[in-house]
Amino acid sequence: MVKAMRRTEHTIARVVTLIGLVASCFYLFWRALFLAGTDLWLSIPVLLVEMSGFVGGALLVWALWPHLARQSSPAESVVSAVDVLVRVHHQGEHELRATLMALRAVANVSDIIIVDISARPSIASIAAEFQHMYAVTDAGDCSGVATGVGAVRTPRFLLLDAGDVPTTDIVSRLTRAFVDERVAVVQGLGVSFATDSIEHGPHGRHDLTFERGALNPALGARGCAVWTGSGSLVAVDALREALADSLVSATLLEIHWAVTAELMSAGWRIAAPSDVAVLAHRVEHSGTAVHADRRARVRAARRLVARGRTSYSARQRLAIWAWCVRPLSGLRRAAFIGVLVCAIYSGSIAFSAPLWLMLAAWLPGFVATSVGLCLLSGWRLRPGDRARWSLASMGPAGAQFGVGLISAITAICLVLVVRGLSDQFTHALGRMPRESLEGLIAVALWTLALSLDVLHLLARRTRKRRTARVASLLPAVFGERSAKIVDLTAHGAGLLSQTALARGQRALLVSTITTASGVTEIRVPCVVGSVTAIDTDSWRLGVMFGEVNNALANALSEFCTVEPMWERLGVMPETSVTEARRMEYVQESDDAFVGRGMLRFLSIVALVGAVVSSVSGNFDATRSSTRLLIWSVIALAGLIGGSLLLGLARPRAIAHSANALPSNSGSSFSPDLAIK
């Protein structure tokens, strides 16, 4: 019954999407026929922007069209042991320890090879501690793939990035796809259980949830998935052939996408099973690392689209284009903002469509296509996600994170102010019909609000989280006084004490933690970092660990990272995903970029400019007062949402399972995990 219901929902999604595509086709056909009589310098670019958006949406519809029913488990076959490549780039030592601790319980693992791109002595010492092979990449191998392939000794290998936590059965689950001898790579389904980081959008959705959980599995159903890296099982012989024609000096992400193209052109298939999540991805909080990843996606997508391979089949080419829609959407968004600013400044109208056409074609096409994509993706692609991604990915490749978006915000704000001053006082800019001007202003304000939300300037979080702290009630002794450890991380702990200590005071923390590996004693010097009075006779102390020995470091990684992820993945023995230990992300000072206050000021001034422009000239007092009231409400909402709530709102992030992604237990985890 459940499977039938899912198939019915997918059929409804197809019908809705087709309605949207047909309506959009009719609207674009009308637009192309009635270009005469418009300002061609503006109407043609607008039409091209609209057509590119339609083509991108159609490619995503094609990619998501197959119905991905939950796969039935085939009969168990003999699974050979494989080598594991653990790749370390900018991750911390505790993240590498977490991955290595998780691999101790993974079945069918032969040798573990640590490929160090960063060439840090601390990583080499951890490899020696765990008695694993250690390899440092040379200057020509920025991705570590070529170095790792030269070190493996099994026909297939499992690739993991440091900080990612695999399930204990990841090898056996991914091996099933190799029943097809044409398969070269099996990309496992990975999930992110954090809800607040620089990679998360509204409602705690990770930016890459759509690609990981919907788009790549759908392409994998056709054998045309993209090799994204961590959590994949790779055939060595096929990879060596592809590496010979790939750019070894490219970045980590670019080499994966380039190898994908080479494998496809050679006739290999890439699978991406979607039935079970086999990996918990680490959370990235470095703005520099995220920006580098997004820029690499744009460069890699441009190269994939520009390749003139004649050996691609039509299905493979469509799959590559569909995968590149989102990475290249920033170019379309930049063009959209450019023509919007030009239209408001010049007073020109790109087109003048009758009301019936907008209601019968444009509106159904816009809404139905967006809703249809959401339904086809299982709501992993929500309304507004494509716009937010395109706004965030604008800008030159070498610029600082957010520079392109900041430039767009500044341009919109300035043109709204100039238009308002012209309409009310100077009349220097060209006049345009009131309805058209109000429509352009509404689009500009919508774009401005969405841009501010992407930059986290509206009332969302004002802090970032560096690592997860796990709730606990461990008895402890801090100094000479008894205490309780109420939360624990790999770097420090939160204590509940009946004695107040001064910040900066040093003391010895003594306790024990129990993990699947055994009981480990905590005996570590700490420094008091924060003191908060709870009531008259109890205080909350935040302490930072001093030097931690290897045994304790491993136990902390297991307790704070590995086991919580296993609980959420549903593979922790004798536990349920509904009983996962509570987690919260440690609050750190915000990395506020320079000019945040200026952008708020410009946004408010832009709203004032929109008010001034909306009430200028040629209208009676009643209509003018009505428009003034409407725009004043918008300005007031922008002022409150963009300024006042920034100082008041301190939302607490909680970590929980991704809503629509499956776990090994067949259920999802969504209890309130907030730490009071």
Condensed to tens digits (0 to 9), the pLDDT of residues 246-281 reads 555 578 888 899 999 999 999 999 999 988 999 999
pLDDT recorded at residue 462 = 42
What are the pLDDT digits (tens) for 523-549?
Answer: 999 999 989 998 888 999 999 999 999
Instruction: From 640, 581, 630, select the one nearest 610 (Cα to Cα).
Output: 630
What are the pLDDT digits (tens) for 446-490?
Answer: 888 888 777 765 544 444 445 677 888 899 999 888 999 999 998
pLDDT recorded at residue 53 = 94
Q: Is the pLDDT of residue 421 over 50?
A: yes
Q: What are phi and psi of 559, to 5 degrees?
A: -75, -40
pLDDT recorded at residue 121 = 94
Residue 425 makes CB contacts below 8 A (sequence gap 6+) with none
What are the boundaries of each domain within the chain?
82-312, 464-588
Reported confidence tier of residue 602, pLDDT bands at 50, 70, 90:
low
pLDDT higher for 601 or 36?
A: 36
Instruction: Give the best-scoring range by mean pLDDT among 269-273, 378-382, 434-438, 614-618.
Output: 269-273
Query: Cα 521 to chain center, whole Å?
Result: 37
Q: Is the pLDDT of residue 22 over 90?
A: yes
Distance between CA atoms of residues 331 and 333, nearest Å: 5
Structure tokens at 86: 């653990």
Distance between CA atoms of residues 20 and 27, nearest Å: 11
Lowest-pLDDT range, 84-98, 163-177, 334-348, 426-440?
426-440
CATH number of the 464-588 domain: 2.40.10.220
214-230 average pLDDT score: 95
**Average of per-residue pLDDT values in the chain:** 81
Q: Please state which CATH class domain 82-312 belongs to.
A: alpha beta
Quickly count helices (H) and strands (E) in the chain. Answer: 23, 17
Distance between CA atoms of residues 104 and 99, nearest Å: 9
Q: Is the pLDDT of residue 667 over 60?
A: no
208-228 average pLDDT score: 95
Q: Is the pLDDT of residue 52 over 60?
A: yes
pLDDT recorded at residue 661 = 39
First to last CA, the chain: 40
pLDDT higher for 122 or 76?
A: 122
pLDDT higher for 76 or 23?
A: 23
Instruction: Give the best-scoring range by mean pLDDT among 65-74, 101-110, 610-619.
Output: 101-110
Distance between CA atoms of residues 315 and 299, nearest Å: 22
202-215 average pLDDT score: 87
Q: Is the pLDDT of residue 417 over 50?
A: yes
pLDDT higher for 314 or 404?
A: 314
pLDDT recorded at residue 621 = 41
The DSSP line for 248-283 is TTS-HHHHHHHHHHHHHHTT-EEE---SSEEEEPPP
Which residues lie across from 540 on neighbouring strands?
Answer: 496, 532
What are the pLDDT digits (tens) for 499-517?
Answer: 888 899 999 999 999 998 8
Instruction: Give the best-scoring range by mean pLDDT among 21-35, 75-89, 134-148.
Output: 21-35
The DSSP line for 215-235 is IHHHHHTTTB----STTEEEE
Structure tokens at 617: 């000239």
Instruction: Give the best-scoring range by mean pLDDT among 183-187, 206-210, 262-266, 622-626.
Output: 183-187
Lowest-pLDDT range, 74-83, 161-170, 589-598, 636-645?
636-645
Residue 338 makes CB contacts below 8 A (sequence gap 6+) with 45
Distance between CA atoms of residues 168 and 424, nearest Å: 68
